[in-house]
Amino acid sequence: MKELLVVVTSFLVIPVLCKRKISIGISICASALIMAALGGLDLAALKDVIADTFFDFKKFQQLMIVSEVAIIGVLLRKYKIIDEMLDYLTLVVNSRRLLFMFIPAFIGMLSVPGGAIMSAPLVDKLGEKSNIPKSNRAVINLIYRHISMHIMPYTTGFLLVMSLMPQISIYKLIGLNSVFVVIYVISGYFLYIRKVENSTNDHYYFKWVNVIKLLKLTAPIYISILLNLVLGIPFYLGMLANLLVLFLLHPTKTFLIDTIKSFNFNVLYALIGVYLIQSIIGRMEALTSFLTLTFSNPNTVILGIVAISFFFGITTGYQPTALGIVLPILGTLSLSDDLLLLYCHFTFVWGFIGYFFSPLHLCQLFTCEYLQVPTMELYKKYWKFFVCLLFFLVLNYFIMRVFFI
């Protein structure tokens, strides 16, 4: 099939560009443009693709949220608030094993591409004290850095779900994802953390005031979620409350200027590229018909979702790509809301599996570079974790069938 060949060829450009030190976001955008050219889109169709990407209000909201999250992440680092968070975390948590988990998980709440580089130095320092191999430190950093992707509703994956599947409850999807997260966290613990000597934290000195201080410092991360849950305020507005709380934590005359300077188009390119690709593939009639046929057949739908989500995750090194391609097609089918939720969950986790183990995964690249761990050594450590997740996902499918199918 010509259109399938066009899509595969276009995605093969991404690793080539990334190897030349071009960011994953720009690489995905370049892949979209190559896909449009090879797919034979005329100027009128290309104009519609661009209009669909930049002038759709729902997509504009998602781009706003991504920008706001990135700005908050930069300001938390600039004002040293993230350092204070970690200081108070060490006062609240009295276990070196838990610190190994909590430090990258905390920093992972700042949803920025390649954010594992922020937690790598801290995990490295803790790992040196615990005398564990650098490869284990790298795996621990990567595993716990990505917990928030499955449960924080303003991460890019959930923003795509809200845009493409508004009928799906984000919080129900988080509930399903949480089952995966539990197995994900437990597997990581037993494979890589359980052998760490669980000595007490030298800085530990528990007081309730430290817990309150920690909640106060992390408020710029979770206030928007509370506003959405309690008052139904959309995230693109709730993020402004996060910024306000951030200002109250660090009042400064230069706050507005710092906020403007913190804006970075690079964080938008990947999401823009996904929207472009989604719109382009939507105009490839033969490929869309093939995917629709695959997803509408009860005998092939799960296998199709797994294979396609994993493929797009591993070839782009960006989990939302799978969501951007699979969900619009699922949305055209006559499915109950419960079944649509289940299929969305499968797309989410299998796209993540492809992304997490992808050689293009930015967090992996940055962590290996910082810790000086060869990629092949990392994958030798990874395989047991991959098998555990694979076993659970297969088991999870049969369990979910009882409730949804």
Per-residue DSSP letters for 193-249? ITTS--PPPTT----HHHHHHHHHHTHHHHHHHHHHHHH---HHHHHHHHHHHHHHH
For residue 257, what pLDDT is reported?
A: 92
Domain spans of the chain? Answer: 2-79+95-199+252-404
- Cα 33 to chain center, whole Å? 24
Instruction: Give me the pLDDT at residue 26, please.
Output: 87
Q: Are 89 and 99 in contact (CB under 8 A)?
A: yes
pLDDT of residue 208: 81
User: 3-9 contacts: CB < 8 A, separation 24 or more?
Assistant: 3/39, 3/284, 3/286, 3/287, 4/287, 4/290, 6/35, 6/38, 6/39, 6/284, 7/35, 7/281, 7/284, 7/287, 9/34, 9/38
Q: Return all residues near 132 (Cβ < 8 A) that are at least 6 apart.
A: 195, 196
pLDDT tens, residue order, the chain (405 aa): 678 788 888 888 888 887 787 877 888 889 888 888 888 887 888 888 888 888 888 888 888 888 888 888 888 888 888 888 888 887 887 788 888 888 888 888 776 655 666 678 778 878 887 788 888 889 999 999 999 899 988 888 898 898 888 889 999 999 999 999 999 999 999 999 887 776 655 556 667 888 888 889 888 888 988 898 888 888 889 889 999 999 999 999 899 999 998 887 777 888 888 888 888 888 888 888 888 888 888 888 999 999 999 998 988 888 888 898 899 888 888 888 888 999 999 999 999 999 999 888 878 887 888 888 888 888 888 899 999 999 999 888 888 777 665
**Cβ count near 209 (within 10 Å):** 10
Q: How far apart are CA 250 and CA 75, in angstroms?
A: 10
Q: Cβ distance 296 to 337 under 8 Å?
A: no
Q: Cα–Cα distance between 227 and 278 in angstroms, integer?
A: 31
Measured CA to CA, the distance from residue 45 to residue 17 in angstroms comes to: 26
Please tell me the distance from the alpha carbon of residue 331 to that of residue 335, in angstroms, as a whole number: 8
* pTM for the full predicted model: 0.86
Q: Which two tokens stand for residue 393?
A: 């996902």
Q: How much is the pLDDT for 111?
A: 65
Picking from 387, 372, 386, the residue whose alpha carbon sits closest to that of residue 135 is: 372
The span from the CA of 108 to the CA of 148, in Å, is 6
Query: 232: alpha, beta or left, given left = phi > 0 and alpha = psi -120 to 50?
Result: left
What's residue 247's pLDDT?
A: 93
Cβ neighbours around 401 below 10 Å, total: 11
Contacts of 235 (CB under 8 A, 6+ apart): 61, 65, 153, 154, 159, 224, 228
Residue with tokens 């729902």, as numbered in its chain: 58
| 192-to-141, 185, 286 alpha-carbon distances in Å | 11, 11, 46
